[in-house]
Protein backbone atom coordinates (compact mmCIF):
# COMPACT_ATOMS: atom_id res chain seq x y z
CA UNK A 1 0.00 0.00 0.00
CA UNK A 2 1.45 3.31 -1.05
CA UNK A 3 0.50 5.71 1.73
CA UNK A 4 0.35 9.22 0.35
CA UNK A 5 -2.01 11.38 2.36
CA UNK A 6 -2.20 12.60 5.91
CA UNK A 7 -5.50 12.24 7.72
CA UNK A 8 -6.71 15.77 6.99
CA UNK A 9 -6.06 15.43 3.24
CA UNK A 10 -7.67 11.97 3.11
CA UNK A 11 -10.71 13.32 4.97
CA UNK A 12 -11.00 16.26 2.59
CA UNK A 13 -10.70 13.99 -0.46
CA UNK A 14 -13.45 11.77 0.93
CA UNK A 15 -15.70 14.66 1.91
CA UNK A 16 -15.78 13.85 5.60
CA UNK A 17 -14.12 14.91 8.85
CA UNK A 18 -10.82 13.57 10.17
CA UNK A 19 -12.50 12.30 13.35
CA UNK A 20 -14.70 10.07 11.18
CA UNK A 21 -11.59 8.41 9.74
CA UNK A 22 -10.43 7.68 13.28
CA UNK A 23 -13.81 6.07 14.06
CA UNK A 24 -13.68 3.99 10.87
CA UNK A 25 -10.15 2.90 11.79
CA UNK A 26 -11.26 1.82 15.28
CA UNK A 27 -14.02 -0.29 13.70
CA UNK A 28 -11.55 -1.88 11.28
CA UNK A 29 -13.20 -0.36 8.21
CA UNK A 30 -10.16 1.56 6.93
CA UNK A 31 -6.56 0.43 6.84
CA UNK A 32 -3.83 3.03 6.88
CA UNK A 33 -0.09 3.00 7.26
CA UNK A 34 1.81 4.86 9.93
CA UNK A 35 5.10 6.66 9.81
CA UNK A 36 7.80 5.77 12.32
CA UNK A 37 6.50 8.72 14.36
CA UNK A 38 2.95 7.30 14.36
CA UNK A 39 1.38 9.70 11.85
CA UNK A 40 -1.46 8.16 9.87
CA UNK A 41 -0.92 7.92 6.09
CA UNK A 42 -3.69 6.96 3.69
CA UNK A 43 -3.47 5.53 0.17
CA UNK A 44 -5.75 6.32 -2.75
CA UNK A 45 -7.52 3.01 -2.10
CA UNK A 46 -8.11 3.89 1.56
CA UNK A 47 -9.53 7.28 0.56
CA UNK A 48 -11.85 5.52 -1.92
CA UNK A 49 -12.96 3.17 0.86
CA UNK A 50 -13.80 6.16 3.04
CA UNK A 51 -15.94 7.56 0.22
CA UNK A 52 -17.76 4.20 0.01
CA UNK A 53 -18.27 4.21 3.79
CA UNK A 54 -19.64 7.75 3.65
CA UNK A 55 -22.04 6.79 0.85
CA UNK A 56 -23.30 3.72 2.72
CA UNK A 57 -23.82 5.74 5.89
CA UNK A 58 -25.78 8.33 3.91
CA UNK A 59 -27.97 5.50 2.61
CA UNK A 60 -28.89 4.69 6.20
CA UNK A 61 -26.60 1.82 7.13
CA UNK A 62 -24.91 1.76 10.52
CA UNK A 63 -21.22 0.88 10.93
CA UNK A 64 -22.00 -2.83 11.42
CA UNK A 65 -23.94 -2.83 8.15
CA UNK A 66 -21.16 -0.92 6.41
CA UNK A 67 -18.62 -3.49 7.61
CA UNK A 68 -20.77 -6.32 6.25
CA UNK A 69 -21.23 -4.63 2.85
CA UNK A 70 -17.49 -3.94 2.55
CA UNK A 71 -16.73 -7.57 3.41
CA UNK A 72 -19.21 -8.87 0.84
CA UNK A 73 -17.91 -6.48 -1.83
CA UNK A 74 -14.36 -7.69 -1.12
CA UNK A 75 -15.45 -11.31 -1.43
CA UNK A 76 -17.21 -10.55 -4.71
CA UNK A 77 -14.08 -8.87 -6.10
CA UNK A 78 -11.99 -11.89 -5.09
CA UNK A 79 -14.42 -14.33 -6.72
CA UNK A 80 -14.51 -12.30 -9.92
CA UNK A 81 -10.72 -12.21 -9.97
CA UNK A 82 -10.62 -15.96 -9.40
CA UNK A 83 -13.00 -16.48 -12.32
CA UNK A 84 -10.91 -14.22 -14.53
CA UNK A 85 -13.41 -11.40 -14.91
* Statement: residue 65 has pLDDT above 80: yes
Res 2: pLDDT: 72
Structural domains of the chain sorted by starting position, each given as residue range(s) with its CATH number in brackets: 7-82 (1.10.1660.10)
Q: How far apart are CA 66 and CA 53, in angstroms?
A: 6
Asked whether the predicted pLDDT for residue 1 surpasses 70, the reply is no
Q: Is the pLDDT of residue 73 over 90?
A: yes
Largest CA distance in the chain: 42
The answer to whether the beta carbons of residues 54 and 60 sit under 8 Å apart is no
Q: Over the stretch 22-51, which tens digit does the pLDDT of each residue have?
A: 999 999 999 888 888 888 899 999 999 999
In which band, very low, low, confident or very high, does the pLDDT at 3 lie, cut at 50, 70 and 90?
Answer: low
Average pLDDT along the chain: 92
Amino acid sequence: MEALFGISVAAELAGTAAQNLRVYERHGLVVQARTDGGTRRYSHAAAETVVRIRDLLEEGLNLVGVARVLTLEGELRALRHELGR
